[in-house]
Structure 1
Amino acid sequence: MSMTAPVSGPPVPRRWIALVFIALAQLMVVLDATIVNIALPSAQHALGISDADRQWMITAYTLAFGGLLLFGGRVGDLIGRKYAFLIGLVGFAAASAVGGAATGEGMLLAARALQGAFGALLAPSALSLLAVTFTTPAERAKAFGIYGAIAGGGAAVGLIAGGLLTEYLDWRWALYVNVPVAVVGLAGGAVFVRDPVAGRSRARLDLPGVVLVTAGLVALVYGFTRAESEGWGERGVVGLLVGAGVLLVAFAVVEALTRTPLLPMRVILDRNRGGAYLSVGLSVIGMFGLFLFLTYYLQTVKRYSPVETGLAFLPMTAGMVTGSTQISARLMNQVPARLLMVPGLLVAACGVVLLTRLRVDSAYATSVLPAQLLLGVGLGAALMPAMNLATAGVDAHDAGVASAMVNTSQQVGGSLGTALLNTIGATATTSYIAAHAQGPPSPALAAAGLVHGFTVALWWAVGVICLAAVVVSVLVDSRGERRAARVVAEPGVREPGVREAVVTAETPPPARQLASVGARGEPVDDGPLAARTSPVYAPMASAGPGSFGTPVHGRVRGGDGAPVCGAALTLIDLGGRQVDRATTGVDGVYALRAPGVGPYMLITAADGHQPQAATVAVAHEPLHYDVTLSGTSGLAGVVRSAATGARVDGAIVVVTDAHGEVIASARTDAAGEFEFDDLVSGTFVVAVTANGHRPGALPVAVDGQGTTHCEVELPAGARVHGTVRAGSDNLLLSDARVTLVDAAGNVVATATTGPDGAYAFEDLDPGTYTVIASGYPPVAAAVMIGETAPEPFGLTLSHPDE
């Protein structure tokens, strides 16, 4: 039994129950994006909102939500994800209640803005909690499948709920409905949700970054929103978009220079996460455009009611659930993510292509339904692994802001998709009517022009979704996925990167920690290596005018002298900056270039070999440097019972290194055997626990040559159990307190009897104990525990006069 992803500790208890409440909170946020759209006309009429200001019911929420997402994600990293999650729920519910009770336009718009602000705290907290709660690949796939299905299908549910609430109750219930949902989520979240990562980010809040990114995102989202109604050439729209660009560029510069950035550049410069963010944003552009036009088509052309429109979208929701839970969740651990994302996006694009064939008289069953099924299955299969990649392998203290980037990509993509595709569709509709009208346009011509505009815009949506597939195929790297999957299994460990590789160079960590050295990271401006080396070396001299750097080349061989193919070599300077990276071919040869003379760190890593870090001195002449990598080893063994010699199945085996870090864990199979692959040479501690046995541990030396075998014997765990009776009738006594005290007078454990008067103490060392029962006047009795379990030990309580 080999392990591909080590685990850092026991799983979070009751995590599947916690998933219910995390998903419920996400559903509430997604529902609110569409449920209020249905209530908009009724709210406008009831509160006397003008047509010009009506859209602010949507815009107020969108600006606050989109602008504060990154800030909300970082707040979760600073104060704790669970606290941010609960605060977001309370605030969202309170804002919804205020909005439902609004007596005027100002009160309603303020409540909607507050909803967006608390939603920006809640959404990234929910996703980051999911990322750090489920760390094993199998559970992570299933959890993200469920989460992705809810995120994708909530919009259709919102249409149905909004229509039913508005039609049969009142528009205010489109807001009030969030209150009971939030109360349930709050009660369950407080009890079941855990933030499993110890400690919080100690970094100071990057206030300049907060101001710049919030202003930039607000300007960007509002610019897209205005472009939908005012046009892209309108002066205010151009000013907003230009201002957004300037602010976001300034934000990027500030983040690259500050020591405690709001959004560390390592989060988005990782090619897998960057590819995931881009693909999510592009996919949402196409999805929002389709959702918008298909809603218009069904309600305006086919005359569907809001409730009927929501029901018409249910097949797409079912497709998303199927794609997320039955395709991606089942295959994500067997195939690279891009082999799910690219086909999924292409299937979704095929669904949109079918919708480009819509006509005024098209039937739902033959034209809309097949397209919705393809679109739902494709997006469900693509978006779930994208969300997983977007949060995989990130440092635990950056999980909130990494999750916020997913939501930001969705929000910006949705705003851009709505504005861009609506402009394209409206222009095509106007051109069609102008070309075919002979006098005032008839209703039939208007409907035909509308459908023509829809189909033209949908062809653009096809192109955007295909572009997302191209982005995934170019940026998402299966090797990087494997590295991230290994890091995911250790949520408390710093994201592997240049700093970790350099600081621990004297004692190389396992290959799984050095595998991502090639990713471009931020310069290390502090830390042990910088402090130790900066006074020693003078600044590097230039390699000379017109030079592309000094060549550093050589060959990578294994311990047997054979060339190592696919080895990753990274050259970094003394500040921790990556200056070049290469991968060996079948002949093991590599070639790098140093930008100037001076000392550099050369890091080499390859699957199945122990990584190596070495200092190389680069002069003006080309440097030839060969690398020899030693192989990794395996560790196998068997777990037996010390009392009987029988093999123990289902025992948990944990391997830790000399520093106490967990390297891998597994369970023994039916034969009581375990096996680990890809361990570097060194001394490890093998610790074993099993039901009915005392824990055991032993040191094991792995020599790097083949597989090391060991045998672990577990002593039997003794047990004291019995019943407590009371009174002259000798009746079984419930709720009696039973205390177990060892020979030294220390309290070992306490228990309370059940309805049958029974108590039990498990996993005890052999020795003499005292059992004390109380409820009546206390009774104490000594019991001797040996290697075998004693017979049931009963106690009788009574009053002195009985």
Structure 2
Amino acid sequence: MSRSRWLALGILASAMLMTILDGSIVTVAMPAIQHDLSFSPTGLSWVVNAYLIAFGSLLLLAGRLGDLVGRKRVFLAGTAVFTAASLLAGAATGPATLVAARFLQGVGSALATAVSLGILVTLFDRPGERGRAFAVVSFTGAAGAALGSVLGGLLTDALGWHWIFFINLPIGLATLALAVPVLPADRGLGLAAGADVAGALLVTAGLVLGIYAVVGIETYGWAAPRTLGLGAAAAVLLAAFVVRQATARDPLMPLRIFRSRAVTGANLVQVLVVAACFAFQVIVALYLQRVLGYGATATGLAMLPAATAIGVVSLGFSARLNARYGERRMLLVGLVLLMGVLGLLIRVPVHADYLVDLLPVMLLTAGFGLTLPALTALGMSGARDEDAGLASGLFNTTQQIGMALGVAVLSTLAAARTDRLRAGGAAEAAALTGGYHLAFAVGTGLLVAAFVVAFTVLRQPARQPSAAPGRSPAPATAGERP
């Protein structure tokens, strides 16, 4: 195994850690940001929403751009934009500057993240190596989310909220310095192979409006004219984008990619899994703070066993298990474990004991360490080499859609249930817990649906034979390519 490829993996993982860390670290510092910059309660939500909208809506375009102009170039550009925007965010002295910086962070994160999986699948062409690489990616995601909660509280308390952004500067600069000589250069297909400007405008505008509608559901409700109007406009734009891709000579997103059961099935499963699991992370944190009275740092520490379990399984076992039993089987096992996580939380009491009621649940999240590497391998196995950037961008886009939908839907259901229980005379803690029970039940249903889709749609990709001694490995098998 070439040492440079593992160094390249470390570089990609560092960039991913930086962006994931930024997504979770901000939530802990929100009260301090509101106090220092005089944000209104409504305006404060845009510290998160500006990032989500830019990130989620540009991933697909950024992934295809990587195929066309070169994934290394797009990765470097994205990392540079994200690092510069982090400096601007840390130096912000008013709400407008911070929101603008967060939007630019989302742009940079989309560019860097969208092409990362595409670079990985070209670097690691043997299934065993690729499985280990995807395991590192899964661990990075879990570690970044957990570390962000803890680090956000520590930095905000010790140095001030500005440092939750300044911490990105050394990581970003080191990533850029190493990425230039280490990441493999690629020329791309050229803009002429897919410079679909009209398609780019349609899909970006449709995703912007769709995500904007989703992030406002918790505030305005599902049936509000704002939600319905924006949702309808987004649906029209995205439908027009599909029509455009079917008729354009050089489409931005060739629809052939969806002929692969692996690509289509894996992305559908991912929306369901991420919707359930990201909402789990958010709602459990709310339960710990609003019902059990934990502080920000204590909440992060309470969630740490989950990240540890995911990391141990994804780094230590998932690649070997996938190689021995196949990604599809391990995906199904992981989904069963995750059903157990949310199923147990349906009965979590108001006065829970952490060691008895919550720690076993945290440890069962090890199922995510089986699920995500297997799901990533299955999804990327169905993409042609020339579409690897697009498949990577699509995979990351559905991940963001799942996160946004999961939080919006489950949080809204939990809040409505809590309001009904309050109106019926329930105590505050009991009403909150009842709302969270409903959210966990719906999340369990989403995971059951994901299991059904995985069982019926996804198939095990063909295995690549080992290369003979002294010979270069054969190109990676792409499973069910169209």
Deviation at residue 419 of structure 1 after TM alignment? 0.6
Question: 195, 201, 205: which one pairs with 1:215?
Answer: 205
Deviation at residue 311 of structure 1 after TM alignment? 1.1
Q: Which is greater in Rg? A: 1
Structure 1 equivalent of residue 381 of structure 2: 392
Is 1:381 aligned to 2:363, yes or no? no
Q: Are 1:25 and 1:126, in contact at CA under 8 Å, matched by a contact in 2?
A: no
Question: 327, 332, 338: which one pairs with 1:337?
Answer: 327
Tell me the SS of whatever aligns to 1:128: helix
Is 1:176 aligned to 2:166, yes or no? yes
Structure 1 equivalent of residue 318 of structure 2: 328
Deviation at residue 13 of structure 1 after TM alignment? 5.6
Question: 307, 314, 325: which one pairs with 2:304?
Answer: 314
For 1:236, the aligned partner's letter is R
Structure 2 equivalent of residue 83 of structure 1: 73
- What does residue range 60-139 of structure 1 map to in structure 2 within 5 Å? 60-139=50-129
Q: Are 2:70 and 2:187, in contact at CA under 8 Å, matched by a contact in 1?
A: no
Q: Are 2:327 and 2:377, in contact at CA under 8 Å, matched by a contact in 1?
A: no
Cα distance between partner residues in 2 of 1:417 and 1:393: 26
For 2:241, the aligned partner's letter is F
Is 1:449 aligned to 2:439, yes or no? no
Cα distance between partner residues in 2 of 1:152 and 1:212: 33
Cα distance between partner residues in 2 of 1:386 and 1:266: 20
Q: Are 1:210 and 1:262, in contact at CA under 8 Å, matched by a contact in 2?
A: yes
List per-residue Cα deviations over 1:470-528 (Å, max 9, x = no partner).
111111012xx11xx549x99xxxxxxxxxxxxxxxxxxxxxxxxxxxxxxxxxxxxxx
For 2:117, the aligned partner's letter is L
Cα distance between partner residues in 2 of 1:259 and 1:654: 36
Deviation at residue 327 of structure 1 after TM alignment? 3.2
Higher-RCO chain (CA-CA 8 Å, sequence separation at least 6): 2
Cα distance between partner residues in 2 of 1:328 and 1:253: 39
Deviation at residue 74 of structure 1 after TM alignment? 1.3
Deviation at residue 394 of structure 1 after TM alignment? 1.9
List per-residue Cα deviations over 1:387-416 (Å, max 9, x = no partner).
112222422221111101111111101110
For 1:459, the aligned partner's letter is A
Q: Are 2:292 and 2:352, in contact at CA under 8 Å, matched by a contact in 1?
A: no
Cα distance between partner residues in 1 of 2:154 and 2:248: 51
Cα distance between partner residues in 1 of 2:353 and 2:128: 41
Structure 2 equivalent of residue 4 of structure 1: none
For 1:652, the aligned partner's letter is G
Deviation at residue 219 of structure 1 after TM alignment? 1.2
Structure 1 equivalent of residue 181 of structure 2: 191
Deviation at residue 153 of structure 1 after TM alignment? 2.9
Higher strand share: 1
- What does residue range 440-479 of structure 1 map to in structure 2 within 5 Å? 445-478=427-460
Is 1:429 aligned to 2:418, yes or no? yes
Cα distance between partner residues in 1 of 2:242 and 2:345: 39
List per-residue Cα deviations over 1:153-199 (Å, max 9, x = no partner).
3111111111111010010111111111101111121222224x665
Q: Are 1:393 and 1:486, in contact at CA under 8 Å, matched by a contact in 2?
A: no
For 1:275, the aligned partner's letter is G
Q: Are 1:12 and 1:194, in contact at CA under 8 Å, matched by a contact in 2?
A: no
Cα distance between partner residues in 2 of 1:396 and 1:259: 20
Structure 2 equivalent of residue 279 of structure 1: 269
Gaps of 5+ in 1: 1-10, 438-444, 491-649, 656-661, 665-802
Deviation at residue 334 of structure 1 after TM alignment? 2.4
Cα distance between partner residues in 1 of 2:323 and 2:95: 51
Q: Are 1:99 and 1:108, in contact at CA under 8 Å, matched by a contact in 2?
A: yes
Cα distance between partner residues in 1 of 2:323 and 2:251: 33
Q: Are 2:261 and 2:382, in contact at CA under 8 Å, matched by a contact in 1?
A: no
Higher helix share: 2
Structure 1 equivalent of residue 390 of structure 2: 401
For 1:471, the aligned partner's letter is V
Question: 381, 399, 404: which one pairs with 1:415?
Answer: 404
List per-residue Cα deviations over 1:364-393 (Å, max 9, x = no partner).
111111111112x11110111111122224
Structure 2 equivalent of residue 39 of structure 1: 29
Question: 634, 652, 656: which one pairs with 2:470?
Answer: 652
Q: Are 1:14 and 1:192, in contact at CA under 8 Å, matched by a contact in 2?
A: yes
For 1:246, the aligned partner's letter is V
For 2:211, the aligned partner's letter is V
List per-residue Cα deviations over 1:601-658 (Å, max 9, x = no partner).
xxxxxxxxxxxxxxxxxxxxxxxxxxxxxxxxxxxxxxxxxxxxxxxxx950469xxx
List structure 1 runs of 4+ shifted beyond 6 angstroms.
none
Question: 21, 30, 40: which one pairs with 2:11?
Answer: 21
For 1:53, the aligned partner's letter is G
For 2:32, the aligned partner's letter is S
Q: Are 1:76 and 1:84, in contact at CA under 8 Å, matched by a contact in 2?
A: yes
- What does residue range 713-792 of structure 1 map to in structure 2 within 5 Å? none
Tell me the SS of whatever aligns to 1:65: helix
Q: Are 2:262 and 2:381, in contact at CA under 8 Å, matched by a contact in 1?
A: no
Q: Are 2:9 and 2:120, in contact at CA under 8 Å, matched by a contact in 1?
A: yes
- What does residue range 318-717 of structure 1 map to in structure 2 within 5 Å? 318-375=308-365, 377-437=366-426, 445-478=427-460, 481-482=461-462, 485-486=463-464, 651-653=469-471
Deviation at residue 84 of structure 1 after TM alignment? 1.1
Is 1:53 aligned to 2:35, yes or no? no
Cα distance between partner residues in 2 of 1:211 and 1:326: 43
Cα distance between partner residues in 2 of 1:426 and 1:53: 21
Gaps of 5+ in 2: 477-482
Deviation at residue 323 of structure 1 after TM alignment? 2.8
Deviation at residue 12 of structure 1 after TM alignment? 5.8
List per-residue Cα deviations over 1:648-695 (Å, max 9, x = no partner).
xx950469xxxxxx689xxxxxxxxxxxxxxxxxxxxxxxxxxxxxxx
Structure 1 equivalent of residue 480 of structure 2: none
Q: Are 1:213 and 1:251, in contact at CA under 8 Å, matched by a contact in 2?
A: yes
Cα distance between partner residues in 1 of 2:62 and 2:335: 30
Cα distance between partner residues in 2 of 1:393 and 1:418: 29
Question: 213, 219, 233: which one pairs with 1:229?
Answer: 219
Question: 157, 179, 182: which one pairs with 1:167?
Answer: 157
Q: Percent identity among equivalent residues? A: 38
For 2:296, the aligned partner's letter is P
Distance 1:171 1:144, change over 3 A: same
Q: Are 1:343 and 1:378, in contact at CA under 8 Å, matched by a contact in 2?
A: yes
For 1:298, the aligned partner's letter is L
Cα distance between partner residues in 2 of 1:266 and 1:166: 48
Structure 2 equivalent of residue 246 of structure 1: 236
Distance 1:199 1:65, change over 3 A: closer
Cα distance between partner residues in 2 of 1:366 and 1:252: 50
Is 1:303 aligned to 2:293, yes or no? yes
For 2:441, the aligned partner's letter is W
Cα distance between partner residues in 2 of 1:663 and 1:230: 51
Aligned length: 475
Cα distance between partner residues in 2 of 1:308 and 1:191: 41
Tell me the SS of whatever aligns to 2:325: coil
